Amino acid sequence: MLGIIINPKSGKRAFRAQRVYLFRLLRHRHQPFAYRVTQYAGHATELARDLVERGYDEILVLGGDGTLSEALNGIMTADIPAEQRAKIHLGIMPRGTGNDWGRYWNLTKNHKQSLKRFFEGEGHPIDVGCVTYYRNNVAYHRYFINSVGFGVDPLCCKIADQFKYYIGSHSINYLFGLIVAFFKQKPIHMGLYVDDQLLLEDGLYTMNIGNGPFSGGGIKQNPDADPTDGIFQSMFVAKPTLHKILQAVPKLYNGHLTDVSFVHAVVGKKIELRTKKHLLFEADGILHDVMGPCVITCQHHAIQFRA
C-alpha cells in the first residue's frame, strides 16, 4: 500500500501543479493510496509512523531532505518488526533547497522524472545512521539517511536557513552560510573514537559523517560514501588556520576535499564524539542542540530506497 507525505512549504511555488500531476498519475495507474499533509516541524515523523503501523509498505515524500529525514525517523521508530521495516520502500520527489540525498541517486527537481523513478524503479537496501545522545542520563535517538554534521556543518545550516527569509530557498544559501560559518565556528575539545578505538583527542572545528557523499547543497565532503556498504565515510578538521581554510574552499565541490593535508578521512561503523560540552549537530539538515557525548552507529540495510 502506498502512503504519500506532502510538505506544502517545501518548494511551494510549484506545489499545486506537482500535486495535481501526481494525483492524475495515480488515477491513471489505478493506484490505491492515502496521503497526508504536514502542518508543523516534526509532523512527517508522526505521519510516517502511523502509516507504516497501519501496514503501508511504500512511503513517497514530496519535500526536501528534512521532510525525508523526518519520515525516516517515523519508519525507524514505528512499532513493527525489524524484518517488516527492512521491506518498506521509501522514495522522494525532491522539492527542497539542498536535495543532497536525491543528488546521489540522480533525482532532480523534475517531478515527472522523479515520480517515474519511484513507480518504475527498483528498491535498494540502504543503511540508516543513528545518533545517540543523552539528556539527564536518558538516551535519545535521531536517525539520518544522508549525513550528520558537527561544528561548521550545523552552523552553516542555521545561517542558510536564515538566508531563506531574504533570498528564498536556493542551494546557494548553503554557500553563503558556509562562508559565514567558517569564521564564526570555534573548535570544541573532544575525544574522537572510531569503532571503540581512540583516534585523536583535539579541538573539533568541523566533522561530517556521510552515509551519502553530498551535503550542504552539493558539497562533496565524503566522495566515497556509499549508503549500501555498511560503513560511514567521514571527514574531520581540528584547528585550521585562515590560510588552510582558503586552501580547502576550491575543493569543496569537486570531490577532492579529503586530499587536503589537514582534512582527516575517518572510516568506521561506529563513531563517538566524547565531550561533556554543548554540541550543535545537524542530521539531514535538521538542527539539534544537545550536550555531549554523541555516538553515531550504522544500521546496515535497515530499509529500502526506491529509485
- Residues 76-90 pLDDT 10s: 999 999 999 999 999
Nearest CA among 84, 87, 144, 94 for reference residue 117: 94
Q: Among the listed ranges 97-106, 146-155, 255-264, 267-276, which one has the minimum average pLDDT value? A: 255-264
Task: Label residue 23 by pLDDT band (50, 70, 90).
Answer: very high
| CATH number, domain containing residue 153 | 2.60.200.40
Taking a C-beta distance cutoff of 8 angstroms, is the pair 127, 301 a contact? yes
**% the chain with pLDDT above 70:** 95
Q: Would you say residue 114 has pLDDT above 70?
A: yes
Same domain, 180 and 258: yes
Picking from 73, 89, 121, the residue at the C-terminal end of a domain is 121
Residues 117 and 133 in one domain: no
What was the pLDDT predicted at 17?
A: 85
Are 88 and 3 in contact, with CB atoms under 8 Å apart? no
At residue 173 the predicted structure's pLDDT band, cuts being 50, 70 and 90, is: confident
CA 134 to chain centre: 21
The pLDDT tens digits of the residues spanning 233-248 come to 999 998 888 888 888 8
- pLDDT at residue 101 tops 80: yes
- Are 247 and 175 in a shared domain? yes
Q: What confidence score (pLDDT) does residue 245 get?
A: 80
Q: Does 214 have pLDDT greater than 70?
A: yes
> Alpha-carbon Rg of the chain, whole angstroms?
19
More confident residue, 235 or 250: 235
- Structural domain including 24 reads 2-121
Over residues 117-139, mean pLDDT: 93
- Do residues 217 and 273 share a domain? yes
**Which 3-state string (H, E, C) describes the chain?**
CEEEEECCCCCHHHHHHHHHHHHHHHHHHCCCEEEEECCCCCHHHHHHHHHHHCCCCEEEEEECHHHHHHHHHHHHCCCCCHHHHCCCEEEEEECCCCCHHHHHCCCCCCHHHHHHHHHHCCEEEEEEEEEEEEECCEEEEEEECCEEEEEHHHHHHHHHHHHHHHHCCCCHHHHHHHHHHHHHCCCEEEEEEECCEEEEEEEECEEEEECCCEECCCEECCCCCCCCCCCEEEEEECCCCHHHHHHHHHHCCCCCHHHCCCCEEEEECEEEEECCCEEEEEECCEEEEEEEEEEEEEEEEEEEEEC
pTM of the predicted model as reported, rounded to 2 decimal places: 0.91
Last residue of a domain, one of 92, 121, 150: 121
With 90 as the cut, is the pLDDT of residue 156 above it?
Answer: no
Pair (148, 189) in one structural domain: yes
Q: Retrieve residue 169's grid coordinates.
A: 530557498
Structural domain total, the chain: 2
Query: pLDDT at position 49, please?
Result: 98
Of 121, 150, 166, the position where a domain reaches its end is: 121
Confidence of residue 66 (pLDDT cuts 50, 70, 90): very high
Least reliable range by pLDDT among 12-16, 95-99, 198-202:
12-16
State the average pLDDT over residues 198-208. 92
Q: Are 67 and 10 in contact (CB under 8 A)?
A: yes
> Do 142 and 257 share a domain, yes or no?
yes
Q: Does residue 30 sit in the same domain as residue 152?
A: no
Residues 272 and 156 in one domain: yes
pLDDT for position 181: 82
Residue 57: the pLDDT is 97
pLDDT at site 13: 64
Same-domain pairing of 133 and 106? no
Tell me how far apart the alpha carbons of residues 135 and 141 are, in angstroms, rounded to a whole number: 11
151 and 255 together in one domain: yes
Q: Domain check: are 138 and 274 in the same one?
A: yes
pLDDT for res 12:
62
d(C-alpha 125, C-alpha 90), whole Å: 10
Supply the pLDDT for residue 127.
98
Mean pLDDT of the chain: 90
Q: At what angle do helices 15-29 and 111-120 cross, to 10 degrees?
A: 30
Distance CA 140, CA 96 (A): 27
Segment 34-60 shows an average pLDDT of 97
